[in-house]
Structure 1
Amino acid sequence: MLQSLKEAKKVVGTKQAKRAIINDEVEVLFVAKDAESRVVNGLVDLCKEKSIEIVYVDSMKELGKACGIDVSAASAAILK
């Protein structure tokens, strides 16, 4: 599942993911387990409201690498 992030149309980061969720553009949300809860709780709640699948990733570093960026990422979303 994580491999699909490399090729898929996506947004990386909490602000961009939140905007995409609000605009009903998200298919799957990826959240790093080690991200601060205050950062990602709003996203998780929005996804539950809108019945969007949430996939948890072990670390922010792993999520960033899967997205093809050189920094850690708390969240990323695959767009419809």
Structure 2
Amino acid sequence: MSYDKVKQAGKLRIGTKQATRMIELGEATEVFVAKDADPRLTGKVVNLCKKCGVNITYVDSMKQLGKACGIEVGAAVAAVATE
């Protein structure tokens, strides 16, 4: 499953604001988006990824993404970079 990439990430940013910043700085190699997250939250990040050529991987739920990120709450977006 793609969650392994999140767990093994050299650099991980959780949340729309941090993920957006990472993409804008050109550091993000892949962005994970939860399918059950509010599209108003994730839409900007998805569009930015497409504009910047960053891979987007959709995951089933915010809860699973949060768990993969090592946090107790759900995560709508997580950005991964290789160190």
Aligned equivalents of 1:48 and 1:7: distance in 2? 24
Runs of 4+ in 1 over 4 A off after TM superposition: none
TM-score, length-normalised on structure 2? 0.92
The correspondence for 1:62, drawn from 55, 61, 64, is 64
Which residue does the alignment assign to 1:6? 7
Which residue does the alignment assign to 1:29? 31
Deviation at 1:70, TM superposition (A): 0.6
Within the alignment, does 1:19 sit opposite 2:21 as a pair? yes
**Secondary structure class of the residue paired with 1:71:** coil
Could you say what the CA RMSD is over the residues aligned between the two structures, in angstroms? 0.8
**Secondary structure class of the residue paired with 1:24:** coil
**Secondary structure class of the residue paired with 1:16:** helix
Which residue does the alignment assign to 1:40? 42
Q: Identity across aligned pairs (percent)?
A: 51
Q: How many residues align?
A: 80
Gapped regions of structure 2 (runs ≥ 5): none
Deviation at 1:32, TM superposition (A): 0.2
Aligned equivalents of 1:78 and 1:6: distance in 2? 10
